[in-house]
Structure 1
Amino acid sequence: MYILHLSDIHYRRELGRRKEADRGRADGEDKQHESGGRLAGPDGYQAMLSAMQNPLVFLDDCLDRAARDWKTIDLVVITGDLTEDGTAEDYRCLKHHIRERVGDIPLVVTLGNHDNKRSFREGWLEEMGSAPYNTIRWVGGTAVIAFDTSVQGVPDGRMDDRQAAWLERALDAVGRNPSILVTHHHLLPEQGQIPPLPESGKLLSLIGNSGVCLILCGHTHHHHAGQAAGRPCHVADSLSFCGDDMGGGQVRFQEKYGFNVYRMEDGMVRMCRSETFANGRILGTLTF
């Protein structure tokens, strides 16, 4: 089974209207962004987003590359931050775009701290409500568990007792069958400056002797490969932007995107490949 892992699209429709213009932009016209200026506070973050190209351009590029290099993709996983505080229509448009590109390939998503649960349920699922989005989907003989650690506006995420109980029941239901745990917040403190899920230790203890053979996360916008509870644990690059810690509370943002591909056989990860693409566009330096 070949798995395409995408993450952190941060889509908004107002960026979508720039899609065709961005695709046609000449390389020389991008040079004006290479020395992005100083940004500050919430307005600075919004200015950075406004300077960014529409992330559907990056999404399409990654899907094109994956289709070219791997003729068969059996599962697409997106590990959260589908939108940037999106409306129901943002989710509806994003899902339509992805479905047009991937067709009937199974698609599993989880939510991130920039996702709005109510808007997601209305636009993506065509239902009402604001409960956490937890699902189990079987792809062949593998269970894919999407587990929601997101709280909108809480960057590090949360796993309260109710969510922990859901995960425990899900793992019991799946039993020793091969399974993939999909969640937005990363679980390993050594990954970098961004803290992991505060309850990551408890989450990993729940995995215990389960059949989980692969953990997929997002949130950091930088790909990473490690081990968590003895299982391969991977983070994918974003499909929007990344931030580099410059010290002194300053983070430099640039356009950088990518994806991961895994090949699983007999409940084991036999291959992992990360692809990262940077176009040199600096979006600005934000002081926190």
Structure 2
Amino acid sequence: MTTLRVLHLSDTHLYGDDSRHYGVVDTADHLARVLDRFADEPFELVVCSGDLSEDGTVASYERLLSLVEPWARERGARTLYAMGNHDQRAGFREVLGAGQSGEDLRVLAADPGADPAASPIASTITVAGWRTIVLDTSVPGAGYGEFGAAQAAFLAEALAVPAEHGTVVVMHHPPVAAQTELLQALALDDDSAARLWDAISGTDVRAVLAGHYHHALVETVDGIPVVVTPGVTNLAEAFGPRDEESARDWAGATVVELNESRVRILPVSEPVTGGEVFTLTAEQVQQIIAAAGRP
């Protein structure tokens, strides 16, 4: 039985310089710590499911590559990257291309007349019988996510013929509800989530890997687990007052093991200092929703 072992990372929020996230977190150090935590573990695939950069600069994506790629190569693992709401497509595309690479890579074509650098970054490839599909739920300038008709058609076409061992879908905004008012306002809209489930239900998709919420969450829909990994940069409070938002100085990741009969999910989140990164009052949350939420 063939097993795919995945290290699932998300929300690294790297900078092109030495800036700190919320003036507190050294995001490059957090990523290095997480990778070191799994230094003795074997993996076939390293997934980075969005919000890879905080400032969208080429330098931030180059920093990501300098940390992840050597680590993955030492283990013979391939890498996969997806866009998040903090990422910028021009910088992402310049450094990370379509998010994955290989001989039979297929990429979502740009809309006719659109700037290719601004078009969604989606791709599919099959390696060793496992198909991986990168989707782009980002909306330029916004915090919430969308999954449009063009990507749905691309996804459905990719899934029309089953892969030997199955398919893993990677996206930033989870197609399941959030725990807090802020994250729900910045979530994938209901129509987009329904469009995704229409495309993947009854197919060979074994799991959907996502980020964005900065805490671990697993929800099964139509027999397919959605795995939301804890943030590399911080750990969001899932059970505080729903109208507030807070995070602490922790770093996390998830180990996902898949074969033809099972999916095993092992989330890990550990304190760096354990201190407060930020706390947002209900009023501050509403201000962010007004600025970055869905119109």
Report how far residue 173 of structure 1 moved: 4.7
In the TM superposition, 1:255-270 aligns within 5 A as 255-266=249-260, 268-269=262-263
Task: Report the Cα distance in structure 2 between the residues aligned to 1:75 and 1:177, rounded to whole angstroms.
Answer: 15
Task: Report the Cα distance in structure 1 between the residues aligned to 2:140 and 2:178, rounded to whole angstroms.
Answer: 24
Residue identity matched to 1:264:
L
Return the match for 1:4 from 7, 18, 21: 7
Partner of 2:86: 114
Contact 1:207-1:229 at 8 Å conserved across structures: no
Matched, 1:207 2:210: no
Matched, 1:89 2:59: yes
Segments of 5+ residues of structure 1 without an aligned counterpart are 19-48
Report how far residue 89 of structure 1 moved: 2.1
Return the match for 2:147 from 152, 159, 174: 159
Matched, 1:182 2:170: yes
In the TM superposition, 1:231-270 aligns within 5 A as 231-244=224-237, 246-247=240-241, 249-266=243-260, 268-269=262-263
Contact 1:79-1:109 at 8 Å conserved across structures: yes
Contact 2:235-2:252 at 8 Å conserved across structures: no
Task: Report the Cα distance in structure 2 between the residues aligned to 1:173 and 1:119, rounded to whole angstroms.
Answer: 33
Q: Tell which has more relative contact order, 1 or 2 (C-alpha 8 A, sep 6+).
A: 1
Residue identity matched to 2:279:
T
Task: Report the Cα distance in structure 2 between the residues aligned to 1:197 and 1:248, rounded to whole angstroms.
Answer: 18
Task: Report the Cα distance in structure 2 between the residues aligned to 1:152 and 1:257, rounded to whole angstroms.
Answer: 27
Partner of 2:105: none
Return the match for 1:285 from 257, 260, 279: 279
Residue identity matched to 1:234:
V
User: What TM-score do the two structures reach when normalised by structure 1?
Assistant: 0.80
Q: Percent identity of the aligned residues?
A: 27
Q: Which string of whole-angstrom CA distances, capped at 9 and with x for unpartnered residues, describes residues 202-250 of structure 1? A: 2111112210011111010011112022112110011112343754853
Contact 2:32-2:67 at 8 Å conserved across structures: no
**Number of matched residues?**
254
Residue identity matched to 1:237:
P
Distance 1:186 1:54, change over 3 A: same
Task: Report the Cα distance in structure 1 between the residues aligned to 2:71 and 2:84, rounded to whole angstroms.
Answer: 22
Residue identity matched to 2:39:
A
Task: Report the Cα distance in structure 1 between the residues aligned to 2:254 and 2:123, rounded to whole angstroms.
Answer: 22
Task: Report the Cα distance in structure 2 between the residues aligned to 1:259 and 1:181, rounded to whole angstroms.
Answer: 17
Contact 2:129-2:163 at 8 Å conserved across structures: no
Residue identity matched to 2:188:
L
Q: Secondary structure in 1 aligned to 2:18?
A: helix
Higher helix share: 1
Contact 2:81-2:96 at 8 Å conserved across structures: no
Q: Secondary structure in 1 aligned to 2:117?
A: coil
Distance 1:268 1:140, change over 3 A: farther
Of stretches 176-185 and 211-220 in structure 1, the one that deviates more from structure 2 is 176-185
Q: Secondary structure in 1 aligned to 2:39?
A: helix
Contact 1:187-1:228 at 8 Å conserved across structures: no
Residue identity matched to 1:180:
V
Matched, 1:216 2:219: no
Segments of 5+ residues of structure 2 without an aligned counterpart are 99-115, 286-295
Q: Secondary structure in 1 aligned to 2:118?
A: coil
Partner of 1:98: 68
Distance 1:230 1:185, change over 3 A: same
Partner of 2:111: none
Task: Report the Cα distance in structure 1 between the residues aligned to 2:245 and 2:199, rounded to whole angstroms.
Answer: 34
User: What TM-score do the two structures reach when normalised by structure 2?
Assistant: 0.78
Moved over 6 A (4+): none
In the TM superposition, 1:65-76 aligns within 5 A as 65-68=37-40, 70=41, 72-76=42-46
